[in-house]
Amino acid sequence: MSEEKGDEFLSWENLIYVADFLQASGENRFSLLGGEPTLHPAFTDFVIYLLERNFDIHVFTSGIMAEEKLEEAVFLARDLPIEKLTFICNLNDPQQTNTSLAEVESVKRFLHFLGPRVALGFNIYRKDFELDFLFSYINEFGLQRSLRLGIAHPIPQELNRSVSPEDIKAILKRLFYYTRMFERFRVKPGFDCGFPLCGVTDTQLAWLYRYTGGRSGFACGPVIDIGPDMSVWPCFPLSSFHRKSLFDFNSLQEVLDYYRRIHDVVRCEVGGIFEECDDCLFREDGICQGGCIAHSIAKFQVEAPVRLKEVYL
Amino acid sequence: MSLLIPVCTPHQKLLERLRGRRLVLRIKSLGLINEAVVLSQQCGVQVHCLIVAGSAPLEDFDFAQEHRGIPVALFAPNLGRFRDLAPKLRILRDLNIRIYLPLDREENFGGLRILSSLGVPSAAVFHNGCIDWEKAADLMTYALLGRFRHAPIEPFQYLAEHYSGSQRDDFSAVYFNDATRYVHIDEEGHIALSSQDLEDQRFISAQLKDLDSLIENDEYRERVEIWRRFFLQAEGCAYCEAWRICLGKFNEFRDANDGCSAFFKEFLEVIEQYQILKTRKMQPWQP
C-alpha cells in the first residue's frame, strides 16, 4: 500500500482497479502489505470498502501502531467473522534484535486486542534463531494456532541480510528442535516459499506430514505483489525483477503465467540453490522447487552475462 | 398537453395548476420526500423524480427504506468519511437514487468510482471548466469499459446508450437542463429553460399557461437551436470532431491545451468500443 522508498500511497482509483481485477479473476482474497499498511491514511476506509466488496482481507503488519489506529482496527473487527479480516503479524525476536520496550508493548497491546484474528509470522535470517517467544505470545494472547515461517532470501543487487544456501540445512535442523513445542502448544508450522525438500530428513518429513496433514510444501513460485503505482512483480525478493504494469494484463492468471514462464527459464539455467538440484528427481517431479529462485538470480547478476536474457534484472 | 416535464418546488398552488402532468420536484432534504409525494398525490400530479440538493456530504444524509422505489436525484458536494457512509450503503443500494457529485473537487473522481463499484448509480457534475480532464477521461473509461460489473456513472452511460453516430446528442437531460425535455418553473409560474436561467430569472415566459404552446414559441426554438451559433465562427468548437456530444458546453472555459476537446474525442472512441462490446454476440458456425 505504500512504497518503501517513497511516500506514494495507493489511491482509491487504483485500489478499486485492483479489486475489480482480482474479482474478475475469481479471487476473493485481498492481502494488504507495505511497508506498514496501517500507516496508510485511508487504511480503515480501504478495509471497510474491501469488506463491502466481499473480500477476505489479510493485513500484514508489524503490530506496532498508534493507539488511535489500533482502536480503529478493533472497531473494524467487531462482529466480523474471523476469516473476513485476519492480521498476519511478522515479529522479530525482541531479545535478539534489541527491540525497544515501547515497541514490544505496542505489539503486545495489538495482540491483546486482536488476538484471535492474529496469525504470527517469523522470518529466519540467522542460524541461532529462537521461537520460544512466539509460543509464549500465542499462548498468552490466544492467537491463531499457526506460525508462518519464512527464510530471508537475497534481494538481487541489494545487500540485505539473508540466509545462504549452505546455512539452510542447519536452520531446518534447528527448526525441528521445536517439534515438541509445536505439539505442546498445538501450533501448526507453515512453510513459506523457498524451503528445499532435501533440507529435511525422512523422519522430519514424516512428522511434518502427520502434524500438518501435508499442508507444508517446498514451493517457490510467483505470488504477485502490486505496488501503489500499479507495477507488479513476482514476489518480495524479486521486487526489481521484470517489473510490469498491472494494466498490461487482463487477469491474475495472465500475470501468474507470465512470471511462471520466467521462473521456468531461470530453472533451465540453474535447477535450484544446490548443485544437486539439477538432477534431483523430486525437483523434476515438482515436489520441490529447489529453494528460492532469488539465490540463482542474484548469482546471475554478478557473473559473465552468458545466460538467457530473461534471467537478468 | 406538452411533453415537456416541469421542474419546480412542491408549492401546493403551483402543483394544482399543473394537475395531470409529470413533474420533477425540488426539495430541500430527504426528510421532505414523504410530504412531497403526498402533496403530489393530492394535487393530481405524477412525480417523475425528486431533486434533493444538499450542502452536506453524502455521509450526513439519512436514507430510509420507506423511500424505496421513489426516484431521487441527490446532489451532494462529496462523500464525506467513507467509514460513516458505509453503514448506509445497503439502504442506498435499495433506493431508486442517483448521487450527483461535482468534478471540481478532486476527491470526487474517487468518490464516484467508490459509489459505482459498490452498486450505487451516480453522476459527475461538470460545474464549469475547472476539471482535470485527464482524470475525467480515466473515470469515463472506468464507467464504460470497467472490467467488473458496477453501477452506471452519468453522463457517460447516458451518452454511450444514446449516441448513434449520425446525429448530435445532448447529455444535459442528466442534469434536468435539456430544454427539449425539461423546463424550470418558479412558484409564480414563470418558465425558464434551465436551472441557471431560473436562478438568474431569465424567463422564456411569465405565464404558466404558455407551457403547452412553448415549443411553438420562436424564442424557445432559438434557444433549443442555439448550438448553431458555434458554426458561425470558423474556430474553436466548430472544428472539434467531438462537438456532437458536448455541443460546446465548455466553450467559454476552453484552455490552451483544449483539454475538453481531447476528453470528448476520447469519449467518442470509448463509446464506439462500448457499443461494439455491447452488441458483440457469439456467432455460431454458419452453414
For B34-49, the pLDDT digits (tens) are 999 999 999 999 999 9
pLDDT value, residue B130: 78
The mean pLDDT of A222-242, rounded to a whole number, is: 92
The answer to whether B89 contacts A16, with C-beta atoms less than 8 Å apart, is: no
The answer to whether A45 contacts B109, with C-beta atoms less than 8 Å apart, is: no
pLDDT value, residue B281: 67
Give per-residue pLDDT as tens, B158-169.
999 999 888 888
Q: What is the average pLDDT score of chain B?
A: 91
CB of A52 within 8 Å of a chain B CB? The answer is yes
Give B82's contacts in chain A (Cβ within 8 Å). Answer: 42, 45, 48-49
Nearest Cα residue to A189 out of A96, A117, A121, A288: A121
pLDDT grade for B1, boundaries at 50, 70 and 90: low
CB of A301 within 8 Å of a chain B CB? The answer is no
The answer to whether A52 contacts B89, with C-beta atoms less than 8 Å apart, is: yes
pLDDT value at B198 more than 80? yes
The answer to whether A49 contacts B147, with C-beta atoms less than 8 Å apart, is: no
Percentage of chain A beyond pLDDT 70 is 98
Q: How many angstroms away from the CA of B141 is the closest CA of chain A?
A: 12
Strand partners, A57: A30, A85
Give A12's contacts in chain B (Cβ within 8 Å). Answer: 110-111, 113-114
pLDDT value, residue A150: 93
pLDDT value, residue A4: 47
pLDDT value, residue B179: 92
The answer to whether B117 contacts A20, with C-beta atoms less than 8 Å apart, is: yes
Nearest Cα residue to A61 out of A6, A2, A17, A13: A2
B197 vs A2, higher pLDDT: B197
Q: Which residues of A246-278 are buried (b: 16+ CB within 10 A; e: fewer)?
A: beebeebeebbebbeebbeebbeebbbbbeebe
pTM of the model: 0.90
- Residue B45 in contact with residue B22, Cβ under 8 Å? yes
pLDDT grade for A5, boundaries at 50, 70 and 90: very low
The answer to whether B114 contacts A49, with C-beta atoms less than 8 Å apart, is: yes
Q: How many residue contacts between A and B have a Cβ separation below 8 Å?
A: 46
Interface probe, candidates A12, A44, A252, chain B, greatest B C-beta count within 10 A: A12
Residues in chain B: 287
Q: Find the distance separating the first CA and the last CA of chain A, reported in whole Å.
A: 23
Interface probe, candidates B82, B91, B122, chain A, greatest A C-beta count within 10 A: B82
Q: How many angstroms away from the CA of B230 is the closest CA of chain A?
A: 36
pLDDT value at B171 more than 70? yes
Give per-residue pLDDT as tens, A113-170.
999 999 999 999 999 999 999 999 999 999 999 999 999 999 987 878 889 999 999 9
CB of B78 within 8 Å of a chain A CB? The answer is no
- C-alpha–C-alpha distance, residues A170 and A190, integer Å: 18
pLDDT value at B219 more than 60? yes
Instruction: Choose the closest CB to B147 out of A11, A13, A21.
Output: A21
Q: How many angstroms away from the CA of B258 is the closest CA of chain A?
A: 25
pLDDT value at A225 more than 60? yes
Give B147's contacts in chain A (Cβ within 8 Å). Answer: 20-21, 24, 250
- C-alpha–C-alpha distance, residues B152 and B213, integer Å: 35
The answer to whether A23 contacts B81, with C-beta atoms less than 8 Å apart, is: no
Give per-residue pLDDT as tens, A12-52.
999 999 999 999 999 999 999 988 999 999 999 999 999 99
Distances (CA, A) of A27 to A23, A30, A281, B126: 5, 8, 33, 36
Give B83's contacts in chain A (Cβ within 8 Å). Answer: 44-45, 48
Q: How many CB atoms lie within 10 A of CB A96?
A: 13
Instruction: Look at the block and give the residue holding cell 453522476.
Output: B123
Task: Name the phi and psi angles at B191, rounded to 5.
Answer: -110, 130
pLDDT value, residue B257: 63
Instruction: Choose the closest CB to B86 out of A13, A42, A48.
Output: A48
Task: List the single residue in A with minimal CA-CA distance to B142.
Answer: A17
- Residue A10 in contact with residue A37, Cβ under 8 Å? no
Give A253's contacts in chain B (Cβ within 8 Å). Answer: none
